[in-house]
Amino acid sequence: MLTLLKNCHLISPELELYRAFLLLRDAWIKDILPAGAPLPEADRVYELAGQITVPGFIDIHCHGRGGADFCDGTPAAFNTIGRGKLAEGVTGFLATTMTVDLERLETTFAAAAEYCRHPTGAKLLGIHLEGPFINPDCAGAQNPAFLRLPDIALIDRLNRVCPIRKVSFSPELPGGVAFCLALAERGIMPSGAHSAADYSQFRAAEAAGMKHLTHFCNVMTPVHHLRFGMVGGGLLADDVYVEIIADGIHLCPEMIELIFALKTADRVMLITDAMCGSAMPDGNYDLGGLPVSVVNGKAQLANGTVAGSTLQMHQALRRAVGIAGLPLQELIKTTAWNQAVSLRFPKLGKLAKGYRADIVILNERFEPQAVWLGGQLQNENTVENICRK
């Protein structure tokens, strides 16, 4: 089936076209036509009236949404989160775990595998294992009761149930460098997190394959003029991608500005790190077995430790636009393209011929108006935001 999206304000990495046309064939982008080009016949035609048209977002760090947590380990939780992510423009995501007991991890992986077979919302691209291989002194909002040393046998065991794409861990732990090498050999991205690593430990892990840093700057050795730390290493290393939570809580605007100035949009990835209180009212919630209160959108433990976020991806983009001072065709790399390149998701993250037709339509406030997932318009009630011909 051919679908034509007319009069798009099309924005993709290093590309911006006004009044452009997107031609979709089934799940794929067949062609992009500039303003004034002859239009082909299509089975369905949608008039977008100049609305912003971008690649579907990819959230590689999300724990939950809508009152559900992936570690609930139920099909209902995955369905709630998967459908909810579509509402914020996310077409692909990594289900991110917490530091929980092994039985709960196994249940979560089984539920993830079931969702992959029968998805009801955004596409599950794999698992992001955050913990349990975390330095006890840097646990943050991770449950200290279930921390353990790096264990590649456990990775292999879980990976057979549902593919692991990324592991966030403390590289300074005993065996951390060997663990990095083993993950990289398996095509799994090692990502530094919850870490007291000094600069030399960071460099050793980077050389062993650690090319991501999880929620950059948060629970991580900071820059010091005599002790450079992991944050300093991340800022200097050209081959390392950094995740940032642009919610106004985890990073101040000046730090976000500095990160973009030094890393450029080519090495920054917007994430939500959202917990189950995302898209929910303030109240009391659970995160990895720890009680969390959400007040004015800020999630925290009883001791005041920040416990994930309630951020949504379109909100992260809107805030980054206001801080980074970059053209949108550069900044849009941070919402899907960098994630797809670094984690080797083929044919995702860009609006280009031959790429998967995962598309989100945004209004001037970057609020999602409609989503195409694999060439199919999702949530037919959103059709009122566009005009079908």
Q: What is the pLDDT of residues 210-253, one digit of tens each?
A: 999 999 999 999 999 999 999 999 999 999 999 999 999 999 99
pLDDT of residue 288: 84
- Paired with 46 in beta bridges are 5, 388
Q: What does each C-alpha distance from 45 to 7, 25, 34, 207 come to in angstroms?
A: 11, 12, 16, 50
Kindly list the domain boundaries of the chain, sorted by start residue.
2-54+349-388, 57-342
Instruction: Give per-residue pLDDT as tens, 159-170.
Output: 999 999 999 999
User: What's the rounded Cα separation, in Å, for the pair 280 and 277?
Assistant: 5
Q: pTM of the predicted model, to two decimals?
A: 0.96
Mean of pLDDT values over 109-120: 97
Q: Give the CATH fold of the 2-54+349-388 domain.
A: Urease, subunit C; domain 1 (2.30.40)
pLDDT of residue 379: 74
- Name the percent of the chain lying above pLDDT 90: 95
User: What's the rounded Cα separation, in Å, for the pair 312 and 279?
Assistant: 8
Q: Give the CATH fold of the 57-342 domain.
A: TIM Barrel (3.20.20)
pLDDT band at 388 (very low <50, low <70, confident <90, very high): low
- Name the percent of the chain lying above pLDDT 70: 97
Mean of pLDDT values over 174-189: 98
Helices in 186-280 by DSSP H: which ranges? 199-207, 229-236, 253-263
| Cis bond before residue 132 (omega within 30° of 0) | yes
- 197 by Cβ neighbours in 10 Å (0-12 / 13-18 / 19+) ranks as buried
Q: Answer yes or no: is pLDDT of 77 > 80.
A: yes
Reported as type and span, the H/E element at residue 292 is strand 290-295
User: What's the rounded Cα separation, in Å, for the pair 287 and 36?
Assistant: 52
Mean of pLDDT values over 154-178: 98
Active site residues: 273
